Amino acid sequence: MNKKYNFCIVDDDDIYQFTIKKTIKHFDLAENIVSFNDGEEALNFILENLNEDKELPDVILLDINMPIMDGFQFMEEYTKIKPKLGKNITIYMVSSSIDDADIEKTKRISEISEYIVKPIQETQLKSIIEKLHNVENME
């Protein structure tokens, strides 16, 4: 039996949101998928569900360039609330940017597991799930 996870997609690109949701559902990886168009919406969701581990995502797929609150601004705020979370959330920065400055900035944020250039490939999605399984098995 494969465990399913709660996914959170934070991206202002509706087409990307649609396709990644379809892909996650196709591989039957998700218990639940929530999506937001900017970091502020996602942060508010996390704050509203701070003590509701079942509602919180296991995985966040976070874009960099978004209106209102971009991915890096989201991470600044997330690191402030992370100690209040009773659940470990794995975050992947997923962007179409291949700018070395973005990639290097991402590497300096310890809460981000990996930088992935869009589009996410099937193998990358499966790798994300494998890593989650491995972390759970170590706990």
Identify the domain containing residue 30 by its residue range. Answer: 5-138
CATH code: domain of residue 15: 3.40.50.2300
**pLDDT tens digits for range 76-105:** 999 999 999 989 999 999 999 999 999 999
Distance of CA 117 to the CA centre of its chain: 13
Task: Examine the pLDDT at 49 and tell me if it is beyond 50.
Answer: yes
Q: What is the pLDDT of residue 138?
A: 67
Helix, coil or strand: residue 108: coil
16 token code pair: 């990307």
Residues 6+ apart with CB under 8 A from 95: 63, 64, 65, 71, 102, 115, 116, 117, 118
Q: If you average pLDDT over every residue of the chain, what do you get?
A: 92
Number of domains in the chain: 1
